[in-house]
Amino acid sequence: MSWAAHSVPVAHGVASEAPPAHAGAQALLRACERGLGRLVDGAAGLLVLADIGVLLAGVIARFVLHQPLVWSDELASMLFIWLAMLGAVIALRRGEHMRMTALLSRAAPHRRPLFEALALCAALAFLAMVIGPAWEYASEEQYITTPALEVSNLWRAAALPTGIALMMVFAALRLLRESPWRAAASAVAVVGVVVGAFWLGGSLFEDLGRWNLLIFFVGVGAGCVFAGIPIAFAFGLATFGYLALGTTTALPVIVGRMDEGMSHLILLAVPLFVFLGLLIEMTGMAKAMVGFLAGLLGHVRGGLSYVLIGAMYLVSGISGSKAADMAAVAPALFPEMKERGAKEGELVALLAATGAQTETVPPSLVLITIGSVTGVSIAALFTGGLLPALVLGLVLCAVVWRRYRHEDLSGVKKTPWTEVARLGAIALPALALPFVIRAAVVEGVATATEVSTLGIAYAVLAGLLVYRQFDWRRIGPMLVATASLSGAILLIIGTATAMAWGLTQSGFSGALAQAMGSLPGGAPMFMAVSVVIFVILGSVLEGIPAVVLFGPLLFPIARALGIHEVHYAMVVVLSMGLGLFAPPLGVGYYAACAIGRVHPDEGIRPMLGYALALLVGTIVVAALPWLSIGFL
């Protein structure tokens, strides 16, 4: 699942409150951060372009010239790990790492700077502890030669210590520049005391056995998540503490597991689909689709709500990023819907519900992650995701019909069919893109990773030749935004992979598998329990880290119980989507509120009806496997 950061802003006015003696220091810090930030931004943007170019060249060489480039995947993978780490650096500098802020947002305003400083200090503590093992890991990789390029693997592995060092620099700069000195000093003291206490009491953990799992993965991990510490660093602190204090494992192992989790070539689709989502908004493709649907259905009761549901379905099939989807659709529809008397809370509730509804529409980043960590065919997941999302869309339409059946449309004019046809012709290139993407994967033209490059090329040509809307000045910021969101996602995958490895080595994975596999009632009971588990996980961890942690554990059990992997994947993703977008904990709901500029309290009550509809739809999908596997 792809999400931009949900951070609570630091109190403004810090610089203005600084004494004159510190004004020069503040200016120097800002200049250093700005200069170094531009270098990192430029490098990350070029890496996004380079990966697009390498993969597109590989597709053309293999499919058109029939001369495969044997080194393309290896070079793309090498560039990708650098992109992931530099993207994580940008996300830290911009405060865009994913985090849970439901509790933090309820804190008194004067206490929020302290919690923000604590989040930075906790991240800094993890980075300081892991940079030594990261350098050791990279040093060992220098003796390995890559098979195709025949260069030292140090060129790739060096991305990890480099990225960690840069994150340390930016974390320290942000702490000095943004946090009031008292908050910063208090945060440093608190984190220092906690880390020191754990370290000095290290001998106590040697004899605790399985209790260490509760202490580190529940106490430290969950505690950090609820305290507002970015999820990637919360997972990292829990895993590092467990391995360092509760086991005899060599610490470079945690870096190796992070590398393994972040380096899977399938995940290269993440930044490319994120960039594609930004492209369709910039080129006017999303606006064209929304305009056509509004002309087609705008004159019926609840018509624009149906348009919102349909537009999210179509846009999700292109961008793969829910934040990008909602940002593309909401501004085009909300003003007109408000003019027709729709309440803001109702609008944002439906927007959040459609975000959950379309989680399985390809190319969903969560589906790509599932394929990466479980080995399920990406093409099968892409095919199986269309009908389940359509079922949930129909259930939402039923709720819309009930709520708007008495809407007054006396002042609404029906769009003439000639105008609808014109809008349809304009939208046709945009409407065709999801089918182009799916056909390229199914027909073997490109892999699930490479097909995003074809979508990008298609969107560029459509923007330049068809819609004549292509702002070259926005390309740079879009590339940096792509790197930032991708880095935030991939760092979570890396630390979650390390945590999953630690859980496996501890024996917890086997115990969980045995407990889930021995549930009374067989497959139906396992499916019901899975729905409950992933609704809860989706509301706390978001989709991607939850999948990385529990996907490798539960998918084999589902297979053993006779549940098709694609069917189980659809139920898991829809359940997590429900948790992600349901208040009060679901961060997706708060993202929808931010995009719609609506206070979260206004949408909670209308969201209850939509959440119940989503749950009913999820149960229908779980009960009818054909909806997920009928077209495989």
The yes-or-no verdict on residue 33 having pLDDT over 80 is yes
The yes-or-no verdict on residue 14 having pLDDT over 70 is no
Of residues 359 and 134, more confidently modeled: 134
Q: At what angle do helices 565-581 and 600-623 cross, to 10 degrees?
A: 170
The yes-or-no verdict on residue 7 having pLDDT over 50 is no
Task: Determine the Cα–Cα distance for residues 491 and 235; give it in Å rounded to an integer.
Answer: 10
- At 260-289, the pLDDT tens digits run 888 877 778 778 878 887 888 788 887 888
- At 160-206, the pLDDT tens digits run 999 999 999 999 998 888 888 888 899 999 999 999 999 888 788 87
- Could you give the count of Cα atoms lying within 13 Å of 12 in the half-sphere of its Cβ? 0
The yes-or-no verdict on residue 336 having pLDDT over 60 is yes
- Could you give the count of Cα atoms lying within 13 Å of 268 in the half-sphere of its Cβ? 32
Task: Determine the Cα–Cα distance for residues 400 and 394; give it in Å rounded to an integer.
Answer: 10
- pLDDT band for 127, please (50, 70, 90 cuts): very high
The yes-or-no verdict on residue 233 having pLDDT over 50 is yes
pLDDT averaged over every residue in the chain: 83
The reported pLDDT for the residue numbered 503 is 79
In the structure encoding, which two tokens stand for residue 416, read together? 């003439």
Omega before 584 within 30 of 0, i.e. cis:
yes
* % of the chain residues with pLDDT over 70: 92
The reported pLDDT for the residue numbered 1 is 38
The yes-or-no verdict on residue 10 having pLDDT over 50 is no
Neighbouring residues of 54: CB distance < 8 A, sequence distance ≥ 6:
72, 75, 76, 79
The reported pLDDT for the residue numbered 622 is 94
* Beta carbons of 579 and 541 less than 8 angstroms apart: no
- pLDDT band for 236, please (50, 70, 90 cuts): very high
3-state secondary structure of 542: coil
- At 538-564, the pLDDT tens digits run 876 666 777 877 888 889 889 888 999
* Beta carbons of 73 and 57 less than 8 angstroms apart: no
Which range in 61-70, 404-413, 532-541, 612-621 is most confidently predicted, on average pLDDT?
A: 612-621
Of residues 11 and 106, more confidently modeled: 106
The yes-or-no verdict on residue 17 having pLDDT over 70 is no
Domain boundaries, the chain: 25-263, 284-468+507-632
The reported pLDDT for the residue numbered 70 is 81
The reported pLDDT for the residue numbered 2 is 38
Calculate the dihedral angle through the C-alpha atoms of 237, 243, 244, 249, rounding to the nearest 10 degrees. -150
The reported pLDDT for the residue numbered 446 is 72
Task: State the average pLDDT over residues 248-264.
Answer: 87
The reported pLDDT for the residue numbered 323 is 67
Task: State the average pLDDT over residues 442-461.
Answer: 79
Distances (CA, A) of 566 to 360, 381, 412, 570, 580: 11, 6, 44, 6, 21
The reported pLDDT for the residue numbered 505 is 77
The reported pLDDT for the residue numbered 102 is 65
Backbone angles phi, psi at 252, to 5 degrees: -60, -15
